[in-house]
């Protein structure tokens, strides 16, 4: 049986509505503010911790035991963690796995992340589901003495400039073992497994910053363009949206995932909306309308494309969420492009929809 050894030092989670959850501290000590969200994944906590799409958010794991297989450097989705804070019911500091290279508490400390454990994550999740995502703070200080001051900061907090903050500052190139094509991957906060899926399919990958212009991309002479996932409100990325509108005119096949899906839709006149509590986890059912099949998908997003706003003269909704019927994919009619809201590359989740990468390969072959 696994041993669970906890520190006795208190930590507190304060929500924007004034609710306080008392727990215990792990990771670094101090105070952090962010948007409190939950993810339902039973595994893949390490992928969650290193996914840039969680920038500015305090992440709650609904699965009650986290850390039992430790952490390793190979499964990072990016070079660092972008979380504002981390919430779990129980964490295990005696992990057991042949790939384990450390425990989750040490990971949080190295990444300078404040965490809280031993709180009722079920109650917290029910609150978020009922009232929607809300800002909050984790603190190891006396929350009751500073409650008014903290609530003022919590209620004024907003995630801004998220995509540009997590995007790489300069171009990076990756060679496939038998590279036959070249794909430009626009980094909006990309996960490494998107790059890895392209490399596995014999594509050389050139990763470029989020604000790279159509003219600069054209000079790279790619066979395809990938628009990655990323954090924050898609509508704030005005310059990137304008760039994508111009990139779409190049005649180069485009595949967009998550934030890339949203920005592509905005570039073609559609709208996005913030969901009540988002879709985060590895068990989201998505219907492919063309195939008439439902797939289990991995997702991490708080915004969605408004399906009714998609101009049917230039595009059509290709996938919908089986639970809330929100738009999960768009196929474009006059350009070689398609986008999805979910993650077909998710190694920490189901691989049901990895066929979409093969569709992207076919689009490039046709070109």
Other Cβ atoms closer than 10 A to 12:
23
Catalytic-role residue among 258, 268, 327, 328:
258
**Cα(49)–Cα(187) distance, integer angstroms:** 18
Catalytic-role residue among 47, 197, 328, 345:
345
Q: Is 258 a catalytic residue?
A: yes
Nearest to 122 by CA among 68, 41, 63, 36: 63
Structure tokens at 71: 């952490």
**Angle at Cα 93 formed by Cα 88 and Cα 97, nearest 5°?**
105
Render 38-95 in DSSP notation, one character per residue. EE--SS-HHHHHT-GGGTTEEEEE-SSEE-TT---GGG-SSSS---SEEE-SEE-SS-
Estimate the crossing angle of helix 259-267 against helix 238-247, to 10 degrees: 70
Q: Is 261 a catalytic residue?
A: no
**Contact present, 281 and 40 (Cβ < 8 Å):** yes
Q: Is 343 a catalytic residue?
A: yes
- CA separation (Å) from 94 to 44, 98, 254, 339, 358? 17, 13, 45, 41, 40
Work out the burial of residue 250: count CB atoms within 10 Å of its CB; fewer than 13 is exposed, 13-18 middle, 19 or more buried.
middle
**Contact present, 304 and 341 (Cβ < 8 Å):** yes
DSSP SS3 for 26: strand
H or E segment and range at residue 156 = helix 147-156
DSSP SS3 for 217: helix
Q: Cβ contacts of residue 245 below 8 Å, gap of 6+?
A: 267, 268
- List active site positions: 258, 343, 345
């Amino acid at each position: 049986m696994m041993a669970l050894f906890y520190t006795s030092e208190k930590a507190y989670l304060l929500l924007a509505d004034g609710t306080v959850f008392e727990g215990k501290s792990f990771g670094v000590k101090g105070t952090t503010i962010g948007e409190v969200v939950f993810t339902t994944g039973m595994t893949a906590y390490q992928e969650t911790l290193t996914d840039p799409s969680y920038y500015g958010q305090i992440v709650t794991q609904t699965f009650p035991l986290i850390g039992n297989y430790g952490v390793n450097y190979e499964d990072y989705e990016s070079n660092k963690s972008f979380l504002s804070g981390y919430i779990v019911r129980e964490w295990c500091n005696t992990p057991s796995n042949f790939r384990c290279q450390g425990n989750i508490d040490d990971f949080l400390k190295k990444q300078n992340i404040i965490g809280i454990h031993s709180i009722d994550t079920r109650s917290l999740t029910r609150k978020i589901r009922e009232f929607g995502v809300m800002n909050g703070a984790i603190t190891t200080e006396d929350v009751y003495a500073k409650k008014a001051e903290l609530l003022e900061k919590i209620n004024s907090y907003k995630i801004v400039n998220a995509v540009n903050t997590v995007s790489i500052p300069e171009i990076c190139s990756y060679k496939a073992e038998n590279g036959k094509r070249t794909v430009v991957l626009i980094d909006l906060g990309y996960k490494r497994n998107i790059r890895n899926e392209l490399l596995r399919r014999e594509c050389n990958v050139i990763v470029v910053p989020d604000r790279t212009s159509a003219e600069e991309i054209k000079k790279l002479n790619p066979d395809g363009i990938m628009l990655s996932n990323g954090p924050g409100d898609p509508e704030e990325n005005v310059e990137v949206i304008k760039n994508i509108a111009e990139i779409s005119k190049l005649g180069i096949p485009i595949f967009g995932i998550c934030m890339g899906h949203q920005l592509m839709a905005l570039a073609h006149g559609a709208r996005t909306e913030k969901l009540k509590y988002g879709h985060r986890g590895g068990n989201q059912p998505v219907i492919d309308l063309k195939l008439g099949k439902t797939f289990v998908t991995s997702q991490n997003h708080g915004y969605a494309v408004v399906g009714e706003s998609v101009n049917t003269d230039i595009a059509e909704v290709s996938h919908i969420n089986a639970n809330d019927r929100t738009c999960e994919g768009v196929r474009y009619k006059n350009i070689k492009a398609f986008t999805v809201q979910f993650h077909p590359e998710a190694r920490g989740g189901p691989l049901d929809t990895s066929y979409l990468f093969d569709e992207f390969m076919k689009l490039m072959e046709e070109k």
